[in-house]
Amino acid sequence: MKVLLINPENKKSIFAYRPEDVRAFWFPKLSLPTIAAYTPPDVEVKIVDECVEELDFNVDVDIVGISVMTYLSTRAYEIAAKFRARGVKVVLGGIHVSMCPEEAKEHADSVVVGEAEKIWPILIEDFRRGEMKPMYVEKDLSTLEGLPIPRRDLLKPGAYWTTSCVQTSRGCPFACDFCTVTIFGGNQFRLRPVEEVIEEVRRLNKGYVVFVDDNIAGHKAYAKQLFKALAPLKISWASQASLTMARDPELLELAAKSGCTALFLGVESISADNLAAANKRFNKVEKFREEFKRFHDFGILITTGMIFGFDNDDETVFERTVEFLEENRIELAMFNILTPLPGTNLYKRMDDDGRIIDRDWTNYDGRHVVFQPKLMSPETLEEGFFWAYHSFFSIPSVFRRVLPSFWKVSRKKLILDRLAVNYAFRRIVKRVPEGRLSPLAKILNGLQGRLPSIETEGLIPNALATIREKIGTVSGQVSNAGNNLYIKVRKSAKVQALLIELHGTMDKINATELKDRIISAVDKSKMDIVINFENLRETTPAALSTLFDIGSIKDKVHPYKIKCTNLRASFGEALERINQLNLINPVFFEIPADEVY
């Protein structure tokens, strides 16, 4: 009996990795080598990965198994149809099939829902007897004890950067809104016995090891035990982790001593509001810089996963994100467009809200816009995504990000490796459109920023912030802004206006500069302005009066309007002083916050 296992690839896509890309920096998925290891020993098994080799549709085979991801489902169905036309039985499995089993059934003789380890040997025996079922469902999650060694010998030799891939855990307790890991792999970490992991690593050929876990340090006690056991093997390795790893100095040190030289970190966004909405609050934006530094202090390369298109993202998100990554010397980044994958909470919510605009699974690859963004058009989101990739992998950016790590890395060859992998990514990026930033993005970036606060007399604290400090809920932005005025700008999701959020200290001097920026922004954007005072720590009556000086601003912004929100609640005392001093009272410009948020 002959079995063919296929990993499909959409080679028509400009984003698809070519064989030279895979050899430069990529590694195979472990799913098919693992299924091959569960196949009865008297069955002949072959694996074809379309990323690195051509698929022969005339091959002599009795049954075909195809692993299906959502964006590759169309290609998987095409492959299935060609083999079925020859009378070859086809089995579909993988994450997409588990999320959309009824759809997949239309394209296969049998489908596997859930993890396939227990089911696959049963399916093979059913096939031999001519009794293969149309659907097999595994509701239980497999234990990771006693796993067979994946059949890496079936992978095309020399086709990958490394085939030394090992799994130590499955599952994730975090349940991020956009992610399928918890849905498919369970809401807790399933851990493989450390001694079994070590034995598998010992058997590998010398070379770089990739641990293909979703979060290798998610279970800290287990991770520490694993890292201690890996240290004597003198290997170099990479994996995926969360930023919480940096909050445990012992854990991070053990990882470095065990040979960790690179980690993929799911940062996702530099907006705390986006992270909260995605149920990823354990990522703390205010701690990013410190946490990145801790990884770098141990010479660990960081690859950040970044997502564009969250509901709080506007045209400025692309430039701000690239600048942030460059400032923090992030060596590599994987940019993606937010994608509502079937089965996720994100998909259900967007589907219920009527925001999904594209049902072609081929476009659910993180490189296409398949939903209606809140604060920009789909075209602006796609163009900004392209622009971010080209900007981040430009030659000046590569040198700014990589060369400073020369002093952090003990093995200087790693610097050459980091430059080489940036070059490999740059080669891929050149195949995609250059993209561009929208004109509004430039306006918003010109309006926002940091202005120094010089005056210290007559400052009145934010009443809302004072109350929150007493009950322990004041934001770090309010309490830690220092003697500066921070200006953040985005489009309002409710009204056609630019929303300005102020943080820190506003005095008469920086209020004058802010007013000039607002006048310029109104002239260029042709939009109203709403200023939110909720997070402004302190200000003076003169600053408020200057900002809303009707005589100097009304004619310059006509017919557009400048309004404010959370002013009376935050600075009632300052408004009383304004009345006493006969200054211009801005309260007449106030509107409720729920009109703009």
Burial class (CB in 10 A: 0-12, 13-18, 19+), 231: middle
CA distance 332 to 305: 9
Q: How much is the pLDDT for 469?
A: 53
CB 399 within 8 A of CB 405: no
Measured distance CA(513)–CA(282) in Å, rounded: 36
**pLDDT (0 to 100) of residue 476:** 47
Q: Which of 448, 468, 308, 466 is nearest to 392 (CA)?
A: 308
Q: State how far the Cα of 366 lies from the Cα of 346, in Å rounded to an integer.
A: 14
Q: Under CATH, what is the fold of the domain 439-595?
A: Transcription Regulator spoIIAA (3.30.750)
Look up tokens 């605009």; give the residue. Answer: 357
Burial code (b: 16+ CB inside 10 Å, e: under 16) for 258-288 equals: bbbbbbbbbbbbbbbebbebbbbeebebeeb
- Laid out side by side, the sheet with 260-268 consists of 165-166, 209-211, 237-241, 260-268, 301-308, 332-337
The gap between the terminal CA atoms of the chain, to the nearest Å, is 63
Residue with tokens 């079925």: 84
Provide CB contacts within 8 A for 477, sequence distance 6+: 286, 486, 503, 535
* φ, ψ for residue 323, nearest 5 deg: -60, -40
Residue numbers in the chain where pLDDT is lower than 70 = 406-413, 465-482, 550-552, 583-588
What does DSSP assign to residue 356?
Answer: B
Q: Which amino acid is at 569?
A: A
Per-residue confidence (pLDDT) for residue 468, from 0 to 100: 53
C-alpha distances in angstroms, 143 versus 138, 146, 170, 186, 190? 13, 8, 10, 12, 7
Q: What residue has token string 């960790």?
A: 260
Q: Give the pLDDT confidence score for residue 584 in this predicted structure.
A: 64
Average pLDDT of the chain to the nearest whole number: 92
Q: Which pLDDT score is estimated for 466? A: 62
Which of these, 220, 225, 215, lies nearest to 247 by C-alpha position? 220
Domains of the chain by residue range: 2-137, 164-429, 439-595
What is each CA distance from 478 to 351, 463, 486, in whole angstroms? 36, 12, 10
Query: Tens digit of pLDDT for each residue in 226-243?
Result: 999 999 999 999 999 999
Per-residue confidence (pLDDT) for residue 467, from 0 to 100: 54
From the list 421, 388, 415, 420, the residue with the least C-alpha distance to 402 is 415
Q: Is 255 helix (H, G, I), strand (E, B) or coil?
A: helix
Pairing status of strand 301-308 against strand 332-337? parallel
E-strand stretches of 411-453: 449-452
Neighbours of 249 (CB within 10 A): 10
CATH 3.80.30.20, domain 164-429, yes or no:
yes
Predicted pLDDT at 583: 65
What is the pLDDT at residue 474?
A: 46
Q: Report the distance separating Cα 57 and Cα 499, nearest Å.
A: 57
- Nearest Cα neighbor of 593 from 493, 468, 466, 509 is 493
Beta strands in 272-430 (DSSP E): 301-308, 332-337
Distance CA 277, CA 312 (A): 9
Q: Which fold has domain 2-137?
A: Rossmann fold (3.40.50)
Taking a C-beta distance cutoff of 8 angstroms, is the pair 95, 73 a contact? no
